[in-house]
Amino acid sequence: MEYITEIANLKINVIVHKKRNLKYTYIRIKSANSIEVKTNYYLNKYDIEDIIQKKSKWIYKNLLDYNQNNLDENEFYFLGVKHKNLDNRNLDFFYKNEAKKIIPPIVEKFSNIMQLFPTSIKFRKNKRTWGSCNYKDDLNFNILLVKFPFEVIEYVVIHELAHIKHKNHSKFFWSLVYKYCPDYKKREKLLKSFL
């Protein structure tokens, strides 16, 4: 099902996907003027519209954020700032080179502070993760991390270094992250605002 709704004078395209086994309704921003709703098979259009209107403030705010962070074809982010790609540079090559320059000094700084030392540091372009730490304590960082503000990169480094001590997301892990990055929730939010 697909229809148009309105929130604060914005016309929004609503794309609905119904599934029998869903217990809850999920709303996702799809573009500058469309949202996706995943919901239970039995909810009708009026039920869905009621949910959308109850979540209208959240939807409106996230549509504004999406529009603010959305890039034109010739634009790219570097350290949280939008730039024009005037020289048509290969962005993957650019991000990889910059990641290799920017991230290792941050790892070294926080390794010394936290007294947690990785076996190696590697860089690759990932679709799903910003960083990872394996059982050998090798750290991997996504080259696209350098798109984000510096404090976001620091948070991801601290997060992965904490995995050297705790290979899970237990309360002990989060306590360790908090110790060295008390505002980590704010930084996580900032990371998500660029996606």
The 10s digit of each residue's pLDDT in 154-182 is 999 999 999 999 999 999 999 999 999 99
Q: pLDDT value at position 91?
A: 86
pTM for the full predicted model: 0.66
Average pLDDT, the chain: 88
Domains of the chain, by residue range, sit at 2-69, 75-193
Return d(Cα 59, Cα 49) in angstroms, integer.
Answer: 13
- For strand 34-40 and strand 10-19, is the pairing parallel, antiparallel, or unpaired? parallel
Poorest-pLDDT segment among 34-48, 65-79, 115-129, 146-160: 65-79
Q: pLDDT value at position 117?
A: 95
The 10s digit of each residue's pLDDT in 114-131 is 999 999 999 999 877 899
Higher pLDDT, 120 or 28: 120
Do residues 154 and 172 lie in contact, with contact meaning Cβ atoms separated by under 8 Å?
no
Return d(Cα 153, Cα 159) in angstroms, integer.
Answer: 10
**What are the two backbone dihedrals, phi and then psi, of residue 125, each rounded to the nearest 5 degrees?**
-95, 115
Q: pLDDT value at position 1?
A: 86
CA distances from 13 to 5, 29, 61, 116, 158 (A): 6, 10, 16, 49, 40
CATH of domain 75-193: 3.30.2010.10
